[in-house]
Structure 1
């Protein structure tokens, strides 16, 4: 049973951690789920919590007519259980926003974050103050953007991004961006979710994230 108590905002820096237990299984969605016990205490200084919304102290469970009480320990990064779900190959490209008043790129999220090799559609409404959308490939894979439409008008087709490439799209507040495409992984290994955070963090801080990337427009 899972009881949502709080939300942990994981570290963006590359933080070393120790896994003391790990169990991996296939799940009905086609993804792989990894359940692990980790010592994430080195990230104490760069980890934040939203919550807790409640402070459970114990759980009463009835098993075969016998009531059992299980104590719950306080939140402790040194003893952290994590559940990570991913497709067995690669990750996906990332979207960032730029604006005249933004000092660093603003992270919007992942693009085509479903099964690799299958075409998906993403629709983005551009918020106030944003004049550029960046689609960035940070990992060893290829992103294929089949169609890009802005306010239902076709903008570009068949854009290919390899690791280190980025696509810059000029936009204005309120624009409706329609993206269709997929990604193809060049690796059979899943990306560690903490390492993925570090990649995004590095892109943002690396001279506004643009110096080492090939930018298309």
Structure 2
């Protein structure tokens, strides 16, 4: 059991470090367009709005993913090989998000860029869902006596997030900006649902 707990701690610390790096890299995309030597104008600042929007959305998406991951592993007490690999795949697509953020920052209204971004978010959602879905079906991996309502709530949160990503991905093929807006809407919706669940406990 001690060895398993050590494995769990190493997994959580490694995940936190990777998430911290990914969320930091996002800021490198915030650059002004034009000559560095000239004085900047408000027009120059305004031209960066797609990059700023992409940065803020990706920042809060990664933060939300990390928050859920943190909550999951508060209740997950031990890991096995399958859970480990689901977490590794989750990190794989999480660290890819700064690249897809660069795509929409420079090609905000292009379908290909937005589809790539939405697909990236969807894959992160899929593996985050797999982490909790896999653990929730195996009581030996969770804290003894965990409230069944809690396990169901987190499964629903993951399902709603995946549905949101699928819808945004489908719409992004035809209306890239609308697909982006749908992803934005998920943030307050998920936070509101969590507050509502806590208020009902």
Compute the TM-score of the two structures, normalised by the length of structure 2. Answer: 0.26
**Quick check: which one's strand share is greater?**
1
TM-score, length of structure 1 as denominator length = 0.24
Q: Who wins on radius of gyration, i.e. which is larger?
A: 1
